A and B are shown apart, each in its own frame.
Chain A
Amino acid sequence: MTDWTRASAAHMVAALKSGEVTSVELTQAHLDRIAAVDGAVHAFLHVDAEGALATARDVDAARAAGEELPELAGVPIAVKDILVTQGMPTTAGSKILEGWEPQYDATVTRKLREARMPILGKTNMDEFAMGSSTEHSGYGPTHNPWDLDRIPGGSGGGSAASLAAFEAPLAIGSDTGGSIRQPASVTATVGVKPTYGGVSRYGAIALASSLDQLGPCARTVEDAALLHEVMGGHDPMDATSLDEPVPSCVDAARQGREGDLSGVRIGVIKELSGEGYQAGVERRFHEGLDKLKALGAEVVEVSCPSFQYALAAYYLILPSEASSNLAKFDSVRFGMRVEKGTVERTMAATRAEGFGDEVKRRIILGTYALSAGYYDAYYGSAQKVRTLIQRDFAAAFEQCDVLVSPTTPTTPFKLGERLDDPLAMYLNDVATIPANLAGIPGMSLPSGLADEDGLPAGFQILAPAHEDARMYRIGAALEKELAKDWGGPLAAQAPELEVSK
């Protein structure tokens, strides 16, 4: 009997069309898997078995009646708890929103419903997407299926872990400084941050509005492409949404699998290597480069000197925007209220109780950076650094079609290891942050397991704004070559999780 939880979404699509499997069977298989392993993994904050099965039954009935259905109809999906979902609790990982049921759907939620994809539930995340480990979730951390004592990445650790644990074939993520790509890297899955504005953010709880972007999470490049095309597109409800056609990600991925990369120029970013990068991570990265060369690509080194300031600029811009975005949690219209005298004192008591330490740190940092007398030195300077980083990218893309680096400097570290050292935690995102500052798209796919610890490492591909399809072509080509060595997808090598009855 086929274990459908191990199949790719593309395989599920074909099997649904041929009648080999029903959506109810697929959905139930994943719900059973969640029941069996999520006690140990804790990828989900909420599971909606009833809702998912209802959608699956509808799809099966429609298919039996000969109705024309969207490509991914019947394929189940997990949704990061940052997206509002009508009729399903939404917390963004924060206690301040515990029990909140939104009265409307995010645009991406609506698109998933229109695509008739059963929504399995909501995945765990660092509170308001602030973090790189899910340890800042108000509801306890997610555990990495490759080693339950280690971080699954963050903020989208729940989405990535749900894929690595075979609890879902597809998931939604959000990426402000690497929250899709870094979890993908440490769980041996695939994650894509589209071009800024490529996916509507209406109904996504905002962290830093000039950086946030929603994107697809999957176990294969082609699956990510299928989901990208469902999520993407112009939305008048988001003023930053790009009014242009969705990139042809699926075609690009299929073209990439044909393997010919002659004429493609790939730039290796010099600044994203060396000190702080684990030897095994760099070794797998360089083997990936060799594969791309063997397919005919030309590999050159490029320099982006301003990247050394990217982390500093990011940790000024993000807190500044977050401090403003999070002002809406005021105990008046929704969420927690801790009564304490006047409305102002109630607000302060509520926010003290409802927010975790990382959120408080960033709100205070942002309040500081935006305050009179400091604005020019901090926020103003950070915005200038942003210009310099964009110029570095522009110069590099004049020489190259895509840029590459390891996604993260190291394999997943142990839970608790960096919890009391925010700066060490921030360093995890050093290679992913520049793309957010410049608004360009980025992808992470598995490069292999590091020799030192046998844990996953990631390969990052960056493309110019609007050229998301390029990453899918290069990524799919690389994935196919690596899978030959691995004898199948790397995700299949994850240790078996103990199944609870």
Chain B
Amino acid sequence: MSSLERSDVARLAALARIDMTDEDLDRLSGQLAAIVDSVAKVAEVAGQDVPATSHPIPMSNVHREDVVRPSLSQEAALSSAPEAEDGRFRVPQILGEEA
């Protein structure tokens, strides 16, 4: 597996919605490449015949009764929002000028 390049980090940061300055990329790219190189060894041991474990204690079909129970009021739910209006979360424009 190839190591992580600076351009990969820039692309991944954009996918993860984290702005990065050139200085951020300089600082983090080398560290991330070193981490990726060191974790890549997992591929050495895990053969085709080994099943994957997603969950440490197997559980399935966890259900509860579908009953109405008290929940947050609209006011409480909006109380921590950076901006709210008319009982809704208010956000900046969704589409850019170029759209």
Contacts and interface: CB of A to CB of B under 8 A. Distances in A.
A347 B47 CA distance: 40
Contact of A365 (B36, B57, B72): B36
Given A103-B77, A332-B89, A348 B18 contact: yes
**Which residue among A361, A381, A388 has the maximum number of chain B CB atoms within 10 Å of its CB?**
A381
Q: Is the interface of A mostly helix, strand, loop or mixed?
A: helix
Interface stretch (A52-60, A312-320, A449-457): A312-320
Contact of A364 (B13, B64, B79, B91): B13
Contacts of A323: 16
Interface size on A, as a range, is 35 or more
Interface in B29-78: 31-32, 34-36, 38-47, 50-57, 59, 62, 64, 72, 76-77
A383 B51 CA distance: 8
A236 B66 CA distance: 12
B92 interface: yes
Nearest to B45: A309
Interface of B is mostly: loop
A386 B52 contact: yes
B55 A210 contact: yes
A423 B35 contact: yes
Contact of B59 (A240, A344, A378, A388): A240
Interface string A396-435: 0000000000000000000000000011000000000000
Interface of A: 100-104, 195-197, 210-211, 236, 239-240, 242, 306, 309, 312-313, 315-316, 323, 330-337, 339, 341-349, 351-352, 355, 357, 360-361, 363-365, 367-368, 371, 374, 377-378, 380-388, 390, 422-423, 436-440, 465
In the A-B complex, the 10 residue pairs with the smallest Cβ-Cβ separation, listed nearest first, are: A439-B56, A384-B46, A383-B52, A337-B82, A334-B80, A352-B19, A386-B53, A312-B39, A384-B50, A381-B42
Interface of B: 1, 4, 8-9, 12-20, 24, 27-28, 31-32, 34-36, 38-47, 50-57, 59, 62, 64, 72, 76-77, 79-83, 89, 91-96
Given A103-B79, A312-B38, 20 more contacts: A195-B57, A210-B56, A240-B62, A334-B80, A342-B94, A344-B94, A344-B96, A349-B19, A352-B18, A352-B19, A352-B20, A364-B9, A377-B1, A377-B43, A380-B52, A381-B42, A385-B42, A423-B34, A423-B38, A440-B56
